[in-house]
């Protein structure tokens, strides 16, 4: 059976917190109603098709607008499920497994299995819709941190600028050398102190992208991660897909401050989404899903237990809704597409 929406009424303490972290709560506000199933259909996401562009190519106007959206989100009262704090807590809740799966005493973990891609797609979808609503602009879209491209390997400038209005997008808990404008993100598993010269790192990035998207990711199991079904524990019974390991995990650690408790913010589940850069990182990963699908012979899961897996999110009207993994497959139905950019790594020969 599929992993159904978690039991939101019973919230536990987060699992796997670093021992130096004493108390941390990330339970969502409990609605007084039964969350209804939300299914995307043409037009349901607003008539506009939103275009997610590479962060390093956006205009200053776009960056200022993104900053305004996050200011508005941060100004919402903390108990509003659309507030930045609550948005960040969603990640902790699903990733430090505070809820039990419905009908099981097993915790709900959205990583390390086939739930990884659909969970994060839905998470970003609602996050983006909330930002758009706060701006009063139905066409507003996130941008993606295009680190698989040689021109996009540093943290996009507006996420590290200390000046108004962009500073709302910066974050004190990042690795200082990696915030520098000429830093080269490492998508593979090499982390400081084993940094490579830029040219060598770019080559390694291309090779890694080729491996995780093509050579080592030919089946749904390899790319999406292994099945997790009702009552199973993702950590025990299944495994992460190629992209979840790299670039996903490594970019998290590349950004986070490794001398902080737990490798905050980006380097650990419970605080990762406190960094606004999290959402640009995950837009890139979401885009990699779209790209993987365009490669011949790459087929998505059709297993009913995948299609019917469920998550709960608050939408842009602060209503909690239930969504299905299978409904995440088509971004056009969700109202957005990715701008095309060149992908030289497709020709890499690792």
SS3 303: coil
Q: Is 243 in the site for ligand C2O (CB under 6 A)?
A: no
Of 173, 195, 168, 182, whose CA–CA distance to 267 is shortest?
A: 173
Q: Is 149 in the site for ligand C2O (CB under 6 A)?
A: no
Output 56 or 248, the one with its CB closest to ligand C2O: 248
What angle do helix axes 84-95 and 60-75 make, rounded to 10 degrees?
80
Q: Is 127 in the site for ligand C2O (CB under 6 A)?
A: no
Per-residue x/- track, 51-90, ligand C2O (CB under 6 A): ----------------------------------------
Q: Which residues are catalytic?
A: 91, 111, 120, 248, 252, 269, 282
Distance CA 291, CA 157 (A): 25
Residue 116: which residues within 8 A CB-CB, separation 6 or more?
110, 224, 225, 240, 241, 244
Output 282 or 287, the one with its CB closest to ligand C2O: 282
Output 109 or 153, the one with its CB closest to ligand C2O: 109
Q: Is 95 in the site for ligand C2O (CB under 6 A)?
A: yes
Q: Could you say which of 82, 107, 111, 127 contacts ligand C2O (CB under 6 A)?
A: 111
CB atoms within 10 A of CB 9: 9
Shortest reach from residue 252's CB to ligand C2O, in Å:
6
Strands (E), the chain: 36-37, 50-52, 310-314, 320-324, 336-338
Which two three-digit tokens encode residue 234? 């993702």
Q: Could you say which of 129, 252, 253, 287 contacts ligand C2O (CB under 6 A)?
A: 252
DSSP 144-158: B--TTSGGG-SPPGG
Output 52 or 252, the one with its CB closest to ligand C2O: 252
Output 81 or 118, the one with its CB closest to ligand C2O: 118
Which two three-digit tokens encode residue 80? 């509003």
Q: With DSSP H G I counted as helix, E B as strand and the rest as coil, what are the percentages for the chain, rounded to 5?
A: 40, 10, 50
Q: Could you say which of 150, 248, 253, 264 contacts ligand C2O (CB under 6 A)?
A: 248
Q: Could you say which of 91, 129, 178, 287 contacts ligand C2O (CB under 6 A)?
A: 91
Shortest reach from residue 87's CB to ligand C2O, in Å:
13
Shortest reach from residue 272's CB to ligand C2O, in Å:
6
Q: Is 124 in the site for ligand C2O (CB under 6 A)?
A: no
The secondary structure element, H or E, covering residue 235 is: helix 234-237
Q: Is 264 in the site for ligand C2O (CB under 6 A)?
A: no
SS3 284: helix
Binding site for ligand C2O (CB under 6 A): 91, 95, 111, 120, 248, 252, 272, 282
């Amino acid at each position: 059976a599929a992993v159904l929406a978690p039991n939101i009424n019973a919230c536990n303490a987060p699992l796997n917190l670093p021992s130096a972290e004493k108390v941390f709560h990330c339970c969502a506000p409990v609605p007084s109603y039964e969350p209804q199933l939300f299914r995307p259909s043409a037009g349901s996401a607003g008539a506009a098709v939103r275009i997610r562009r590479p962060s390093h190519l956006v205009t200053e106007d776009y960056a200022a607008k993104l900053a305004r959206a996050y200011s508005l989100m941060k100004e919402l009262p903390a108990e509003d499920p659309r507030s930045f704090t609550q948005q960040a807590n969603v990640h902790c809740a699903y990733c430090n497994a505070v809820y039990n799966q419905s009908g099981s005493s097993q915790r709900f973990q959205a990583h390390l299995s086939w739930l990884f891609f659909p969970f994060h797609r839905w998470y970003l979808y609602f996050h983006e819709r909330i930002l758009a609503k706060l701006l009063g602009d139905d066409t507003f879209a996130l941008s993606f941190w295009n680190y698989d491209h040689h021109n996009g390997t540093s943290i996009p400038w507006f996420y590290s600028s200390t000046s108004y209005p962009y500073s709302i997008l910066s974050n004190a808990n990042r690795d200082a050398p990696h915030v520098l404008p000429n830093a080269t993100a490492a998508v593979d598993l090499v982390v400081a102190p084993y940094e490579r010269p830029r040219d060598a790192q770019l080559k390694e990035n291309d090779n890694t992208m080729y491996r995780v998207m093509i050579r080592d990711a030919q089946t749904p199991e390899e790319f999406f991660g292994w099945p997790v079904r009702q009552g199973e524990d993702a950590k025990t019974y299944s495994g992460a897909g190629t992209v979840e390991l790299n670039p996903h995990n490594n970019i998290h650690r590349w950004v986070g401050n490794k001398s902080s408790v737990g490798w905050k913010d980006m380097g650990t589940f419970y605080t990762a989404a406190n960094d606004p850069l999290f959402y640009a990182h995950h837009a890139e990963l979401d885009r990699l899903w779209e790209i993987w699908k365009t490669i011949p012979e790459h087929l998505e899961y059709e297993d009913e237990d995948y299609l019917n897996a469920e998550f709960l999110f608050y939408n842009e009207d602060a209503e909690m809704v239930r969504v299905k993994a299978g409904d995440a497959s088509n971004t056009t139905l969700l109202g957005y597409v990715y701008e095309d950019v060149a992908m030289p790594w497709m020709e890499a020969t690792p």
